[in-house]
Amino acid sequence: MGSYLNPGNFSFRGSLRSKIYVDKSELIVKTNDALCTEQKYICVSRPRRFGKSMAANMLAAYYDRSENTEELFHNLAISKDKSYKENLNQYDVIKINMQEFLSMSETMEEMLEMLKNYLVADLEETYPKVRFRDGKNLIQVMKDVFSYTKCPFVILIDEWDCLFREYKQNKEAQRKYLDFLRAWLKDKDYVAMAYMTGILPIKKYGSHSALNMFTEYSMTDPGELAEYFGFTEPEVFGLCDKYEMSFEKAKIWYDGYQLVEHKKEKEECHSMYSPKSVVEAMLRHKFGTYWNQTETYEALKIYIQMDMDGLKDSVVRMLAGESVSINIGTFSNDMTTFATKDDILTLLVHLGYLTYNVTDQTVRIPNKEVSQEYVNAISTMNWHGVADLLDSSHKLLEALWALDEEAVAAGIEKAHEEIPILQYNDENSLSCTINLAFYFAREYYSIIRELPAGKGFADICMIPRQEHLDKPAVIIELKWDKNTIGALKQIKEKNYGNALKAYQGKVLLVGINYNKKSKKHECAIEVMEK
C-alpha cells in the first residue's frame, strides 16, 4: 500500500463514522457497469462541497485489492447488487488529488513531474519483482506492472480541474496538462476505469477536446449520476425528521438544484440539495449560510460585475424570482473565455450559483442561501439602486400589512425608478418590479406567480409559510394603463380568492396599476370578506 497506489480506506471509514452519513453507494453499480468497457472514462463535475471527494474515497475503498473492505459495505445499498462481490477489492487503485500536487509545485511542469515521480515510486515499491523497461516513464511503468499482474488500474482523480481555476490565463499550461492526461489514460489497456471529479466540465480546445473519450456528468447534463452528488429530497426529509428540523425551511434554504436524468420511458427530475449546508443545519439545529462560508462572495462578484451583454438585467430579474433564457452551447468550460453573458451564466451553473432547467433552457437562483450570496456581492458593488431597494423592501412589506396604499405605491415607484428593467411596457415587466420590491416578503411567504384560481390566474399570490400564519395572505392583480378599481373587481369577479379558501387568516386583495400617462404607480388594498 502506497500513498497513491492502493491508498486504503481510512478516509471512507471517517465518512462512515460521521454523525451524518447518507448512503450513496449505489453509485458503485454505475461504475461497475463501466469497468473495462468503452464507457470506462467518467468525468463528474459538481459545485464545491457536493460530495465529490467522499464518493472518490468510497470508490477507492471498494476497488482497492490490497485490503478486504467487505465489512465497510455489507450494510450499504451496494451490497444487494449482483455486481457487488464480483468487483469488491479486485483492482489496483491509483487515487490522486490534483490540488495537492498543484499546491506543492511552482509550475505546471513541476506539478506533472512530481506526480509522475511519486506514482512511479509507489509502483516500484509495491512490485519489486517487475522488470521495468524505463523507470522514469510513468506510462511504461504502468504497462510493465499490468503485464506482470494482469490486473488493470482504477484511476481516481479528484480536483482534476484545479489547474484551470488557478492558471486561468495560462492557455499553454492548460493545453499541456490536458495532453498529459490524454497520453496517460486514452486507449490504455491498463485502465479499467478512469474517474475524474471537479467543478468544471472538460475544457474544449478548438474543434475537439483532448479528453474526448470521457463521458461527462455535469450540472447541465447529469445523466444517470444525477442523484449521487448532493442530497435528494427524500434524504433531506429523513434527516429533518431525525433531527426535528423543519423540512419546509430546509427546502427554502437549500433546495433548488433541478437535475434531470433522461430515461427511455420518461425524464426524471431530481431535486438536489447542497449536502454541506444540510449537514451543518442539522448538526447545529439552525438554518443559515454554510455552503457560502467555504468561499467568499468575491468569487461571484468577479463575474456578475462584468455586466456583459445585459448581465446585470438578468441578475436583477433572477433576484426578483424570474428565470432567464440561456444558451449553454457556447461555454468553453473555463473561467476566462466569455463571448456572451450566457457563457458567464453557464459558469455560474457549474459553480452552484444558478440552477439550469433543461426543459425550457433557463436559469434561476436556486435557493435562499445562494440568493443571499448575490445580495452580499451586490452590497459591495456599485449597484446602489439594487442594493438600496433590497434593503428597503421590508418597509414596503410593512406598508402593505398596514393597508397603506400611498406608501405601497410610493415603494413600487421607487423600485421602478432605481431599477428600470429592460422595456417597462407590459404587465410582465411590472410583475418583475413588484417581485423585486417585495424581495423581503420571501422571509414570510411562498410567492407564486400566475396561480390558477377561480376563473383564471391570479398574477401574484403570497401565501404565509407555516411558521408565519399570523401574517395575512395576499392576492395581487396587476394592470397596465388601466385602473386599480378594475384590478380589485377582477379579483372578486373571477373568484381568485378561491385559491386561498383553505387559509383561515386574513386575506388582502391588492390592485396595482401603472398609469402610462402620468408614469405613476397606483395601489388599492382591501381586506377580503369571508
Let me know whether 441 and 507 are in one domain: yes
CA contacts within 13 A on the Cβ side of 205:
14
DSSP, collapsed to helix, strand or coil, labels residue 266 as coil
DSSP 3-state assignment of 434? helix
CA separation, residue 406 to residues 342, 393, 521 (Å): 40, 15, 10
β-strand partners of 457: 452
User: Any idea which residue has 451490497 for its cell?
Assistant: 79
Helix (H) or strand (E) holding 304: helix 298-304
Q: Say yes or no: 180 and 47 in one domain.
A: yes
What letter represents residue 83's amino acid? S
Last residue of a domain, one of 217, 252, 271: 217
388 in a structural domain: yes
CA distance 327 to 266: 23
Is residue 132 in a domain?
Answer: yes
Rounded CA-CA distance 95/56 in Å is: 8
Which among 203, 201, 185 has a CA at the least distance from the CA of 193? 185
Cell of 301: 462578484
> Could you tell me if 355 and 397 lie in one domain?
no
Half-sphere exposure of 375 (CA within 13 A, CB side): 18
- The rounded distance, in Å, linking the Cα atoms of 28 and 90 is 13
Domain end marker among 189, 217, 245: 217
Give the angle 485-487-488 at the CA atoms, nearest 5°.
Answer: 70
Assigned domain for 2 exists: no
17, 281, 282, 286 from 244: Cα distances, Å: 21, 11, 8, 11
Q: Is residue 133 within 8 Å of residue 140, measured between CB atoms?
A: yes
Question: How many other CB atoms are found less than 10 A from the CB of residue 127?
Answer: 16
Same domain membership, residue 245 and residue 207: no
CB burial of residue 29 (10 Å; 0-12, 13-18, 19+): middle
> In whole angstroms, what is the distance from residue 184 CA to residue 166 CA?
22
292, 300, 379, 396, 438 from 376: Cα distances, Å: 11, 10, 5, 21, 18
CATH of the domain at 66: 3.40.50.300
Residue numbers of the domain that contains 59: 10-217
222 found inside a domain = no
Last residue of a domain, one of 154, 187, 217: 217
On whether both 150 and 54 belong to a single domain, the answer is yes
Closest to 142 in 3D by CA, of 160, 159, 154, 158: 154
Tell me, what's the pLDDT at 207?
Answer: 47
> What total of structural domains would you count in the chain?
3
Residue 45, in any domain of the structure? yes
Query: Which triple of cell numbers denotes residue 52?
Result: 465529490
- pLDDT by residue for the chain (530 residues), tens digit each? 568 999 999 999 999 999 999 999 999 999 999 999 999 999 999 999 999 999 999 999 999 999 999 999 999 999 999 999 999 999 999 999 999 999 999 999 999 999 999 999 999 999 999 999 998 999 999 999 999 999 999 999 999 999 988 888 888 898 899 999 999 999 999 999 999 999 999 876 654 568 889 999 999 999 999 999 999 999 999 999 999 999 999 999 999 999 999 888 788 899 999 999 999 999 999 999 998 665 657 778 888 888 788 888 899 889 989 999 999 998 988 888 888 999 999 999 999 999 999 999 999 999 999 999 999 888 888 887 888 888 889 999 999 999 999 999 999 988 888 776 545 666 677 888 888 899 999 999 999 888 776 666 778 889 998 889 899 999 999 988 889 999 899 888 888 777 777 777 889 999 999 888 888 899 999 998 76
Rg (CA), the chain: 27
Q: How many secondary structure helices (H) and strands (E) does the chain include?
A: 21, 16
CATH number at residue 503: 3.40.1350
Largest CA distance in the chain: 91
Instruction: Report the pLDDT value the prediction gives residue 2, as an integer from 0 to 100.
Output: 64
Residues 422 and 434 in one domain: yes
The reported pTM is 0.92
- Whether residue 392 is found in the same domain as residue 423: yes
Helix or strand (DSSP H, E) at 319 = helix 311-319
Distance of CA 384 to the CA centre of its chain: 28
Label each residue of 365-431 as H, E or C.
Answer: CCCHHHHHHHHHHHHCCCCHHHHHHHHHHHHHHHHHHCCCHHHHHHHHHHHHHHCCCCCCCCHHHHH
Contact present, 49 and 257 (Cβ < 8 Å): no
Q: Is residue 5 part of a domain?
A: no
Set of cell numbers at residue 95: 487515487
The answer to whether residue 3 sits within a structural domain is no
In a domain, 320, yes or no: yes
Q: Is 30 helix (H, G, I), strand (E, B) or coil?
A: helix
Same domain for 23 and 160, yes or no, is yes
Question: Are 114 and 126 within one domain?
Answer: yes
Co-location of 427 and 300 in the same domain: no
**Do 189 and 263 lie in a common domain?**
no
206 and 142: one domain? Answer: yes
